[in-house]
């Protein structure tokens, strides 16, 4: 019987999902969610250059509370953080993007660390990835994008990256 590893996000207290929504596959505490035919391996983010923060242009919505928390993580006054990283579109507060050729990166993506610069305070939209309705509807694209996604009901199937 494989040893159970505790999800690092649960340890950090930032896991969006109940620990009861998880199961062990190959020594990794997978995250699952009712109604989604895949599981997520949170340890994949350590090996991934932040694909979900880069690529096609997208929208990351934030709340006022998110903005306050993210500014705190960066030890930045809220007005400075807001001016540098956020914009308002259609009455919504969003994170800016940085375009480089065909790539659009979240302005809060840190290329040096290949990860989110405000990870402990990332918006709910990012916390709940890859369990998005839009991602579930286009599972093939999700599997191509995120190496942490494991196809198969409840995560009991094969790994999407073939490992």
Cα(73)–Cα(46) distance, integer angstroms: 20
* CB-based contact 66:121 (threshold 8 Å): yes
- Near ligand SF4 by CB under 6 A: residue from 39, 70, 146, 150: 146
Nearest approach, Cβ of 131 to ligand SF4 (angstroms)? 11
CA proximity to 63, closest of 84, 40, 35, 86: 86
Cα(36)–Cα(129) distance, integer angstroms: 12
Nearest approach, Cβ of 76 to ligand SF4 (angstroms)? 23
Q: CB-wise, 82 or 95, nearer to ligand SF4?
A: 95
Token readout for 4 is 């159970």
**Which string of x and - marks every residue 38-77 that binds ligand SF4 (by CB under 6 A)?**
------xx--x-xxx-------------------------
Give residues in contact with ligand SF4 (CB under 6 A).
44-45, 48, 50-52, 129, 145-148
């Amino acid at each position: 019987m494989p040893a159970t590893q505790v999800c690092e996000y649960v340890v950090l207290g930032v896991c969006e999902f109940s620990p009861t929504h998880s199961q062990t596959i190959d020594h990794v505490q997978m995250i699952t969610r009712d109604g989604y035919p895949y599981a997520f391996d949170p340890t994949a983010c350590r090996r991934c250059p932040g694909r979900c923060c880069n690529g096609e242009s997208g929208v990351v919505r934030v709340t006022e509370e998110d903005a306050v928390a993210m500014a705190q993580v960066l030890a930045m006054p809220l007005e400075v953080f807001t001016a540098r990283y956020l914009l308002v579109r259609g009455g919504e507060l969003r994170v800016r993007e940085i375009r480089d050729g065909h790539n659009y990166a979240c302005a809060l993506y840190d290329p040096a660390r290949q990860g989110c610069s405000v990870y402990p305070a990332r918006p709910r939209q990012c916390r709940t990835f890859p369990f998005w309705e839009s991602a579930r509807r286009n599972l093939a694209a999700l599997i191509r994008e995120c190496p942490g996604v494991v196809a198969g009901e409840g995560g009991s199937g094969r790994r999407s990256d073939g490992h």
